[in-house]
Amino acid sequence: MIIAQTELDSFLKATNSAPHDLLGMHPAKKGRSQGVLVRAFLREAAACVVVDVTKGDEYPMEQLAAEGFFEVFIPKIKEVFAYELKTKFHNGETRQFRDPYSFLPMLGDLDLHLFNEGNDHRIYEKLGAHTRVINGVPGVSFAVWAPSAARVSVVGNFNHWDGRYFPMRTLGASGVWELFIPGLGEGELYKYEIYDRAGKIHLKTDPYGLYFEAPPNNASVVHNPRKYSWGDSAWIEQRRAKAGQLDQPMSVYEVHLGSWKRRAGAADELFSYRELAPMIADYVIEMGFTHIEIMPVAEHPFDGSWGYQVTGYFAPTQRFGTPQDFAFFVDHLHQRGIGVIMDWVPGHFPRDAFALAEFDGTHLYEHADPRQGAHMDWGTLIFNYGRNEVRCFLVANALAWMDLYHIDGLRVDAVASMLYLDYSRKEGEWIPNQYGGRENLEAIQFLRTTNDLVHHYFPGAVMIAEESTSFPGVSRPTKDGGLGFDYKWNMGWMNDTLRYFQKESAHRKFHQNDLSFGMLYQYSENFVTVFSHDEVVHGKQSLLFKMGAWHIAEKAANLRALYTHMWAWPGKKLLFMGCEFGQSREWNYAVSLDWHLLQYKDHDGIRLLVKDLNHLYRNEPVLSMNDFNSQGFRWINCSDTDASVMAYLRVDPFEENIFAIVGHFTPVIREGYRIGVPRKGFWREVLNTNSQHYGGSGLGNGGGLNAEDVEYDGHSQSLSVTLPPFSTTIFKWSAK
């Protein structure tokens, strides 16, 4: 026997960190004889023979341990040769296969160098599990980063989840472990068994896994997402042609795929990606939205997290089908002319023991100090953005969704929590940066890098920040000192506007500044005006029931007035599903939206209004391609607090198209209410939220008014308008 007993014992106990030094074929000497030594470790094997695949020669191996450790010295062979193992198992089965320990590493020195310095932008093609053909042999290559592990093994059904078999090799000081297993293919379930330096074993899913088994087992699944044949080249080319043109129509419908619509009579039965695609496309096209934003679809074990506690960052959730099915979903919407934005969650990750937390027995992806590495509010962990390999993981993840699934943009969740070290923390619960400040410099650099690389590799793709503070330059280019996002959610406008509309009409005159204050900072960022899912959960009530009125008809009228003000106000638009028809109850992720409400005019009227607002918005460039022009907005009057009336203009750069918007937010009828306008001529009433078509009384201005030579509001012309209760009216100037 050539192997030492202590070395064999170490291997059998699965504590050996260099399996390729023992297993496989190596040049060796036995006494004075030169040859090669072959060792194999095979589960449930009764006998094994080395077969020279070129010559057909066979060399029986000696079994050194009942667990399946075999060895043979082949003399008079100067170089290693291609071989297979012909194995007879205890059940009588005989199989012949290539030895996993006969293959060279799949990752080269440059790959490892780029990964360790955080600059491999396609690391998802190297780490993880990938089907490959090596020297004509099909199989799966596995690679995982676990620098503090003492031993890492690939486990799955193929080795009965026994970590003694298929231990991986570590590649130098990179911290990467690697193994190619011939004979495996797509659909194999696998995890990594990690033996840490404290002697504990961790069973982990693949951080770079591309597909996952459903809970509770949550195994990673070998999968090739590039098999899908895309048909959206025209869409991608159109997107590329508009790269950098941010002031384009963007009206976004935010969707949670699990609760948008479910099978009738079966609340727990979900539609698949392939079933949802045409249904959502039909509806979005009818409603006039330009994009959908899907709440996080990256794999997550807990439905109640809505997708915001991710355990499979590179994998579309299996809840609705395979990765190919998800690709079909995106492709179908693209071919129907609809953009797809996805929520992305790089700000935190859950503590689930099978995923990223303490991955190799140490705080690998997260900070060790809870003052840096834990979100107290959410019970989650914070990525260590200063660690090169972690930054590489996250940057590559953003790029992967656009590369593998043609996603048109990412809405980055909880950016404020990333920017500030003291986010939601008390004194003494956080650690200042190197300059003594509260800014998370490493997270800021990570965001800038990600935004720049997305724009570099995928022209026309957009990055959107959900950022709730006044951090400067969120949507300004990095070259100008900004974070490099294209857009920022306007959380201030949302909070102020909802606060106003939640008040009963008698009290609104004291809070008119809630409606006007937003214009002071409107052009400091490229804003998206939003009412998202966060506003209709956790006891906040639905948007309809937030309205400060006593019965549904008045609540609906208020909501129609609010939506029209929202669409007329500068900024791109986003509305959460169900809000477009005034769903009465709060959103519940576990059941379908209340589509039956559309039989009632109060609800269907809201939907019809949103549909008309979208089409007006998209057809009128002054409303949809003029959001970032500070000269495109002018107040007519925002100080008539007693009447709760506010009026403003939207104009194009050449002042050829002018819209006057008048909002009136009390229950009385105001006839002969005068507003100043800048032009003579006819002002056509293009939209009145009190129209009977929307469920109102029909009171309005008869389709339009001629301007009168009466000075008012600083203008030489004015209109004498009728203001219905709880209404917003839009007029468009015409020279005739």
Bridge partners for 727 per DSSP? 664
User: Which residue is associated with the tokens 């994998």?
Assistant: 315
Taking residue 276's Cβ as centre, other Cβ atoms within 10 Å add up to 23
Q: How far apart are CA 281 and CA 334, in angstroms?
A: 9
Q: How far apart are CA 114 and CA 231, in angstroms?
A: 33
Q: From the candidates 193, 408, 466, 535, give the one annotated as an active-site residue.
A: 466
- CA distances 398 to 109, 301, 348, 366, Å, are 24, 20, 15, 18
Among 344, 348, 392, 393, smallest CA distance to 366 is for: 348
Q: In the 8-state DSSP scheme, what is residue 405?
A: H
Q: Is 466 a catalytic residue?
A: yes
- CA distances 36 to 40, 49, 83, 370, 729, Å, are 13, 14, 12, 52, 88
Helix (H) or strand (E) holding 646: strand 645-651
Buried b (16+ CB within 10 A) or exposed e, 24-48: bbeebeeeeeebbbbbbbbbebbbb
3-state SS class at 220: strand
Q: How far apart are CA 627 and CA 717, in angstroms?
A: 26
Helix (H) or strand (E) holding 65: strand 62-65
Residues in CB range of 102: below 8 A, 6 or more apart = 24, 25, 80, 82, 83
Q: Give the tokens for residue 333.
A: 């919407």
Residue 378 exposed, middle or buried by CB count within 10 Å (0-12, 13-18, 19+):
middle
The counts of H helices and E strands in the chain are 16, 36
| Residue 523, φ and ψ in degrees, nearest 5 | -105, 15
Q: Give the tokens for residue 300.
A: 């997550």
Bridge partners for 180 per DSSP? 141
User: Which residue is associated with the tokens 């899912």?
Assistant: 533
Instruction: Using alpha carbons only, give the angle 201, 202, 207 rounded to the nearest 5 degrees.
Output: 150
Listed as own residue / partner, the contacts of 91-100 with beta carbons closer than 8 Å and 24 or more positions apart are 91/44, 96/51, 97/182, 97/183, 98/137, 98/139, 98/182, 98/183, 99/23, 99/24, 99/25, 99/38, 99/40, 99/182, 100/139, 100/166, 100/179, 100/180, 100/181, 100/182
Q: Is 413 a catalytic residue?
A: yes
Strands across the sheet containing 83-89: 58-60, 45-52, 83-89, 94-98
Residues in CB range of 281: below 8 A, 6 or more apart = 332, 333, 336, 338
Among 580, 553, 552, 505, smallest CA distance to 695 is for: 553
Q: Give the tokens for residue 190.
A: 């696998």
Amino acid letter, 431: I
E-assigned strand segments in 356-438: 374-375, 380-381, 409-412
Taking residue 731's Cβ as centre, other Cβ atoms within 10 Å add up to 27
User: Which residue is associated with the tokens 């052009």?
Assistant: 523
In this structure, the chain runs to a length of 736
Q: From the candidates 99, 254, 325, 413, give the one annotated as an active-site residue.
A: 413
Known catalytic residues are 413, 466
